[in-house]
């Protein structure tokens, strides 16, 4: 650590610009430089603790965040810097303040190794989203903050703006009243992201891209969080309902024509769609449902599915000659190309020859969906350097805490992948999701992709 601090001390004002500091910090192995002796002890479960390692010419401070603790929303004015995530995770939420309105903007999650840029003038908050683990972060700021005097912080529920004084130890509303110059009440209107864009979900980038295991845990948390209300949301959301009903109808017609006897429902969730498709056919065929959310499978079992709680690749399912398999609204949750290929090969092993696989994926070229926006994020944030592939997106449900992952596909990408895994693509239909939900499009840049593939 001493060597690292001495290197920072040698930097001059002329080369202290964000790009140069980022290049320098990216070359540092913080895991080797920072040990437990540098981490401040937690003195409160309601606030973070700080340990200042250096103040001149750059501030270096280590923060220890208890479970669920967050800073206040605060305004960086006259300084900038970087936050390195050493342990746990750190969520960064940015805001804009204009015309006495505080608008929630973007969310990003930093995993160990992430370097979060905090530009001069940004309004944001940092939080440890974990319910059971601390987070440790290293903050490097220029020019250094001698204290928090003059910093403005925001409270969204009470609509307060507080201005801290030199007594404040943290940028938090946990500070006593003696740490404030003044507090302005009913000072603004707060507009959360969901109200601003009228969207149920929003992109929330995670840096670097987590491991397969970490993404699996994220998805499990995401669906467990929604298990009780998932069916209501699925049917109350007009565009999603129309989209799902169109796909259910197409599958049911095929199942009826084939007179299926045994169906594998992957990522079946609560089993509602699998049961609806069976009801439409009028055939009492067996459904084996697999899902990683045990909470959802409790509901699926009540609907008459035989269930297995597991992700598909680890599912211990006897090899069986299923007549058909469905992988609806979930194939894009698989985090890498290699894992998607392994999943399809395993599905092929469980289908009889000539058995059909039905799956849908979001279309990277659909101008009404997140695909084009994800490509912009990919370029703007250099996400290739953080393990991302084009089309990778992390997101959150408005008001939710858990993150989820989704991969958007190009038409040729999903077709080639299926063919490489021993399937013949019978058809790919572009079905409206946001724009004209449930309508079948002829153009490749509209709608999501619904695919029927036959095992060779």
pLDDT in tens, 334-371: 999 999 999 999 999 999 999 999 999 999 999 889 99
Q: Residue 85 is part of a domain; what is its CATH number?
A: 2.60.120.10
Co-location of 87 and 229 in the same domain: no
Question: Where a domain ends, among 114, 129, 145?
Answer: 145
Q: Tell me if 162 is assigned to some domain.
A: no
What is the per-residue pLDDT for 359? 97
Structural domain range at position 224: 212-455
CA angle at 226 for the pair 221 and 227, rounded to the nearest 5°: 95
Q: What is the dihedral sign for C-alpha 238, 241, 244, 248?
A: negative
Tokens at 345, concatenated:
């090969």
Q: Which of 6-15, 55-64, 72-81, 128-137 has the lowest mean pLDDT?
A: 6-15
Cα gap 123→154, rounded to integer Å:
9
Q: Tell me if 395 is assigned to some domain.
A: yes
Cα gap 67→69, rounded to integer Å:
6
What is the per-residue pLDDT for 439? 95
Alpha helix locations (H) across 132-210?
Answer: 193-197
pLDDT band at 198 (very low <50, low <70, confident <90, very high): low
Is residue 4's pLDDT more than 90? no
**pLDDT tens by residue, 49-85:** 999 999 988 999 999 999 999 999 999 999 999 999 9
What is the per-residue pLDDT for 184? 97
What is the per-residue pLDDT for 399? 78
Co-location of 378 and 285 in the same domain: yes
Co-location of 27 and 116 in the same domain: yes
305 neighbors 271 (Cβ within 8 angstroms): yes
Domain count along the chain:
2
Cα gap 64→49, rounded to integer Å:
5
Is residue 194's pLDDT more than 80? no
Co-location of 132 and 253 in the same domain: no
Cα gap 391→394, rounded to integer Å:
10
Q: Tell me if 403 is assigned to some domain.
A: yes
Co-location of 437 and 339 in the same domain: yes
Co-location of 229 and 92 in the same domain: no
370 neighbors 203 (Cβ within 8 angstroms): yes
Q: Residue 356 is part of a domain; what is its CATH number?
A: 3.40.50.150
Co-location of 434 and 342 in the same domain: yes
Strand partners, 61: 52, 139
What is the per-residue pLDDT for 196? 65
Cα gap 216→405, rounded to integer Å:
9
Q: Tell me if 191 is assigned to some domain.
A: no
Q: Tell me if 68 is assigned to some domain.
A: yes
pLDDT band at 13 (very low <50, low <70, confident <90, very high): low
Q: Tell me if 195 is assigned to some domain.
A: no
Co-location of 127 and 236 in the same domain: no
Co-location of 412 and 281 in the same domain: yes
Helix (H) or strand (E) holding 445: none
Question: Where a domain ends, among 100, 128, 145?
Answer: 145
Q: What is the dihedral sign for C-alpha 299, 300, 302, 306?
A: negative
Beta strands in 292-337 (DSSP E): 306-309, 322-327
Cα gap 365→443, rounded to integer Å:
10
3-class SS at 189? strand
* For residues 197-202, average pLDDT: 74
Q: Tell me if 171 is assigned to some domain.
A: no
**pLDDT tens by residue, 291-314:** 988 988 999 999 999 999 999 999
438 neighbors 242 (Cβ within 8 angstroms): yes
Question: Where a domain ends, among 90, 111, 145?
Answer: 145
**212: alpha, beta or left? (left if phi > 0; alpha if psi -120 to 50):** alpha
Co-location of 237 and 131 in the same domain: no
Q: Tell me if 183 is assigned to some domain.
A: no
Co-location of 238 and 136 in the same domain: no
Cα gap 270→105, rounded to integer Å:
32
């Amino acid at each position: 650590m001493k060597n690292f601090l001495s290197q920072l001390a040698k930097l001059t004002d002329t080369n202290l610009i964000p790009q140069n500091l980022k290049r320098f910090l990216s070359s540092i192995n913080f895991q080797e430089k920072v040990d437990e002796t540098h981490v401040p002890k937690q003195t409160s479960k309601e606030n973070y603790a700080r340990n200042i390692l250096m103040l001149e010419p750059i501030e270096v401070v280590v923060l220890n965040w208890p479970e669920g603790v967050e800073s206040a929303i605060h305004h960086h004015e006259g300084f900038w810097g970087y936050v390195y995530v050493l342990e746990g995770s750190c969520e960064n939420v940015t805001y804009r303040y204009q015309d006495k309105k505080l608008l929630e903007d973007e969310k990003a999650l930093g995993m160990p190794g992430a370097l979060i840029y905090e530009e001069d003038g940004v309004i944001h908050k940092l939080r440890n989203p974990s319910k059971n683990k601390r987070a440790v972060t290293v903050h490097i700021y220029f020019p250094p903050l001698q204290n928090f005097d003059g910093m403005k912080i925001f409270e969204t529920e009470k609509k307060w703006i507080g201005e801290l004084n030199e007594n404040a130890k943290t940028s938090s509303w946990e500070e006593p009243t003696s740490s404030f110059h003044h507090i302005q009440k009913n000072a603004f209107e707060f507009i959360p992201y969901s109200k601003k864009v009228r969207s149920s979900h929003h992109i929330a980038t995670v840096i670097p891209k987590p491991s397969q295991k970490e993404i699996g845990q994220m998805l499990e948390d995401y669906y467990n969080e929604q298990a009780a209300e998932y069916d209501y949301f699925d049917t109350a959301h007009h565009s999603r309902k129309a989209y799902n009903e169109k796909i259910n109808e197409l599958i049911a017609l095929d199942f009826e024509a084939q007179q299926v006897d045994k169906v594998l429902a992957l990522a079946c969730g609560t089993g509602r769609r699998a049961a609806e498709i069976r009801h439409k056919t009028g055939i009492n065929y067996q459904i084996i449902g697999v899902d990683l959310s045990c909470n959802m499978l409790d509901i699926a079992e009540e609907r008459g599915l035989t269930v297995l709680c597991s992700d598909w690749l680890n599912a211990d399912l006897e090899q069986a000659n299923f007549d058909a398999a469905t992988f609806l609204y979930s194939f894009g949750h698989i985090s890498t190309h290699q894992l998607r290929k392994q999943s399809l090969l395993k599905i092929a092993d469980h289908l009889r020859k000539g058995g059909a696989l039905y799956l849908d994926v979001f279309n990277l070229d659909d101008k009404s969906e997140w695909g084009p926006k994800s490509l912009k994020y990919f370029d703007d944030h250099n996400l290739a350097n953080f393990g991302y592939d084009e089309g990778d997106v992390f997101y959150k449900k408005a008001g939710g805490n858990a993150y989820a992952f989704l991969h958007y596909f190009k038409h040729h990408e999903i077709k080639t992948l299926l063919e490489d895994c021993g399937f013949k693509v019978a058809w790919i239909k572009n079905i409206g999701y946001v724009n004209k939900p449930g309508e079948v499009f002829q153009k490749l840049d509209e709608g999501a992709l619904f695919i029927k593939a036959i095992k060779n």
